[in-house]
Structure 1
Amino acid sequence: MNLKFRNKKITGILTVLPDNEIKFEDEVDNYAFSRSQTMKLKLIMGYNKRRVVNEETSISDLCVFGLEHLFNQKLLGRDEIDAMILVTQSPDYIIPNTSQVIHGRLGLKTDMICEELSQACAGYPIGLIQAFMLLEQEEINKVVVLNADIFSRKVSKQDRGSRPLTGDAASITIVENDTSDNTIYGSINTDGKGADALIIPAGGFKTPSSPETAELKTDSKGNTRSLDHLVMKGDDVFNFVQKVVPPMINNLLDKAGRKKEDVDYFMFHQPNKFMLKKLADKMEVSYERMPNNVVENFGNANSVSTPTNITFNLGNKLTKESLLICLAGFGAGLSWSSLLLEIGNLDFCEIKDYKI
């Protein structure tokens, strides 16, 4: 589905990363493979280190920490927020929405909207699109989009396919109305037939967690996990990304009347270095214009990987100038989404460590 918005802008992006860092080498012996085999995987996939929370830290902790930082630095007014959207698949509770928990912890005004979107890899553009739609209302002038996930606690320690790339993080993006007469182009796509390509089979109402779902089993590739853990069909996800993302971006550019050469940066979701390099090659975009270095430094925190990509690679630049940026997310669902918009002259674009 193609979408179009006018007179909207991003005014600030903050990424919150737990300061607890785990190196790839520290977990090599957990996997049922030789050390030499696993180290080859590190080189191919770009694994190095990742940031993860401890057992006591929830996504509301990361989001509250980040918002309090913005309040204290006078970068955001507590009473300026008219709507707050939380994009996550690791909420604090089933009931209530974690966005409402964050609202209460911060003591925000009651005359505002709190929403929660259950989205993973494609969630950053989708959250922004929801914010753009809310800004069509006369009484909404500023929307806070929160992206947060702590999936490290749902990945088996003996899963070589998913464990080395999984990180935890949160991000805060401020979205406001604009008077510059700009146009933002977007798209959202879904194929639920591939929903089992990225799934946690147990823990929901369909298959509640139990002693049976916690039983560890080893698959044909040597990864040991339970039904309570994340299962990723890596080959299926890779093929899906290579198949659907290039035509999505071509369609987006066509709708906007732009060429690939017009785009300053392609800031995409970060599944791993190998997949992004292959995607850049297929799209004939240089690695410099499509950065692929988030997983090796922080891990993949679902939808947060996209704003982390922005703050890590373009943070200082985006506070001084404006760039035409193509955003894209793709993965669980299966879903894929994109946006083409000008981002720049931001009030802030930075990374803040959360002390565990």
Structure 2
Amino acid sequence: MKTIFQGKRIASILGILPETVANFDDEVGNYAFPPSQTMRLKRLMGFKQHRLAKENSTVSDFGVYGLQYMLKNNWIRKEEIGAVVVVTLCPDFFVPQVSNIIQGELKLTKDVICLDVAQGCCGFLVGLMQSFMLLEHLGNKKVVLVNGDVLSHKISKRDRNDFPLAGDATTVTIIENDPNAKAIYYEMNMDGSRADALKIPAGGFRMPSSDATAEMKDCGSGNFRSLNHMHMDGSGIFNFVQTDVADMLQAAFENGSKNIDDIDYFFFHQPNKFILQKLAEKVGIPPEKMFMNLVENFGNPSGASIPMTIIFNRAEELKTTQKNCCLAAFGSGLAWGLMFMDIGNLAFCEMIESNL
């Protein structure tokens, strides 16, 4: 899918972090590998610390916490909200939907549209697409886009390949109509034939969770996990990024109205530092324009990674100025996409910590 959106803008962004900080150095003993071998990954992959939600904390908890913070500070009013879109892989329940839970907790009006979207790494781009389309029918109302996951609950703490990357976070983005906003180029690609590259085998209707699926096993590489745990095919994802994702970016710059010099900042999904460095090298993106520091500070927060990267690196600047940005994401699905859009003059762009 390739399209152009007109008259839409991001008005503000809030990031909500759990208070628990886990340090990579303290987790080395969890893994069935010599500590010296594990520590070599620290510099290469960008492992330092990550945020972990409490066992009973859910995406709706973080979404409600963030929106209550916004309402308390008069950053948005209830009567301005026309839709709540939640993008997550971690629903509180099969039923009801997270967006409806948030609407009910905040006592929003009954004409507010509530919509959940199951999407991971590309969740911010997919959520923006859905929000832009809803705005065509909401007049002067705004869309509240919640991107959040608590995937640390679904990753084995004895899996050195996956657990160091786990980072729980939620973002709340306010999106609105703006007739003066510049056109937004949007592209999204999907390939379900490679869906197994990032998967939680058990827990759905295909394979319900059971005592058997909870059994921890050595997967043959010294990593212990069960069928209830998420696993990423690291080499498969790396090759996917170096081929499909790099080709998409290069084609967009060759065939579109933008080139790399036109872009002020590149805000990409943050799988790990190594993948991003190799992608930047292949596409020719100057390292000073592309941020690769989210994993070492917070872990990989799935679909919240792009707005978290924006807040962490350029919050103050984007409150007062507008920048030409390239957003790109890639991962579970498999899915990969990009956007060219101006971001700036934000009403607020903040990161807060919760006790969740």
CA distance in 1, matches of 2:282, 2:220: 30
CA distance in 2, matches of 1:73, 1:183: 31
Q: How does 1:1-356 map to 2 (within 5 A)?
A: 1-139=1-139, 141-180=141-180, 182-254=182-254, 256-356=256-356
Indicate if the aligned counterparts of 1:186 and 1:252 stay in contact, CA closer than 8 A: no
Code of the residue aligned with 1:224 in structure 2: it is: F
Indicate if the aligned counterparts of 1:265 and 1:289 stay in contact, CA closer than 8 A: yes
CA distance in 1, matches of 2:205, 2:302: 23
Query: How far is the alpha carbon of 1:197 from its aligned partner?
Result: 0.4
User: SS of the counterpart of 1:54?
Assistant: coil
Cα shift readout 1:31-86 (whole Å, capped 9, x = no counterpart): 00000000001111010000111112111111101000100111011121001110
CA distance in 1, matches of 2:34, 2:54: 28
How many residue pairs were aligned?
356
Cα shift readout 1:151-170 (whole Å, capped 9, x = no counterpart): 00100011000100111010
Indicate if the aligned counterparts of 2:82 and 2:138 stay in contact, CA closer than 8 A: no
Indicate if the aligned counterparts of 2:87 and 2:146 stay in contact, CA closer than 8 A: yes
Indicate if the aligned counterparts of 2:250 and 2:283 stay in contact, CA closer than 8 A: no
Cα shift readout 1:127-156 (whole Å, capped 9, x = no counterpart): 001111111115463111110000001000
Code of the residue aligned with 2:290 in structure 1: it is: M
TM-score between both structures, scaled by the size of structure 2: 0.98
CA distance in 2, matches of 1:243, 1:254: 16
Cα shift readout 1:304-331 (whole Å, capped 9, x = no counterpart): 1111000000111100100001111100
User: SS of the counterpart of 2:11?
Assistant: strand
Code of the residue aligned with 2:148 in structure 1: it is: A
Query: How far is the alpha carbon of 1:256 from its aligned partner?
Result: 4.1
Indicate if the aligned counterparts of 1:46 and 1:295 stay in contact, CA closer than 8 A: yes
Query: How far is the alpha carbon of 1:244 from its aligned partner?
Result: 1.3
Indicate if the aligned counterparts of 1:29 and 1:35 stay in contact, CA closer than 8 A: yes
Query: How far is the alpha carbon of 1:253 from its aligned partner?
Result: 3.6
Cα shift readout 1:198-231 (whole Å, capped 9, x = no counterpart): 0000000000000000111111211100000001
Indicate if the aligned counterparts of 1:185 and 1:255 stay in contact, CA closer than 8 A: no
CA distance in 1, matches of 2:99, 2:258: 37
Code of the residue aligned with 1:3 in structure 2: it is: T
TM-score between both structures, scaled by the size of structure 1: 0.98
Query: How far is the alpha carbon of 1:254 from its aligned partner?
Result: 4.7
Change in CA separation of 1:138 and 1:308 when aligned onto 2, cut-off 3 Å:
closer
CA distance in 2, matches of 1:301, 1:332: 13
User: SS of the counterpart of 2:315?
Assistant: helix
Query: How far is the alpha carbon of 1:181 from its aligned partner?
Result: 5.0
Code of the residue aligned with 1:202 in structure 2: it is: A
Q: CA RMSD in A?
A: 1.1
Indicate if the aligned counterparts of 1:252 and 1:340 stay in contact, CA closer than 8 A: no
Code of the residue aligned with 1:191 in structure 2: it is: D
User: SS of the counterpart of 2:305?
Assistant: helix
Indicate if the aligned counterparts of 1:327 and 1:338 stay in contact, CA closer than 8 A: yes
Question: Percent sequence identity over matched residues?
Answer: 46
Indicate if the aligned counterparts of 2:81 and 2:112 stay in contact, CA closer than 8 A: yes
Cα shift readout 1:94-145 (whole Å, capped 9, x = no counterpart): 0011110111011111111110110000111110011111111154631111
User: SS of the counterpart of 2:10?
Assistant: strand
Query: How far is the alpha carbon of 1:3 from its aligned partner?
Result: 1.4
CA distance in 1, matches of 2:80, 2:29: 50
Indicate if the aligned counterparts of 2:21 and 2:51 stay in contact, CA closer than 8 A: yes
CA distance in 2, matches of 1:113, 1:88: 17
Query: How far is the alpha carbon of 1:338 from its aligned partner?
Result: 1.2
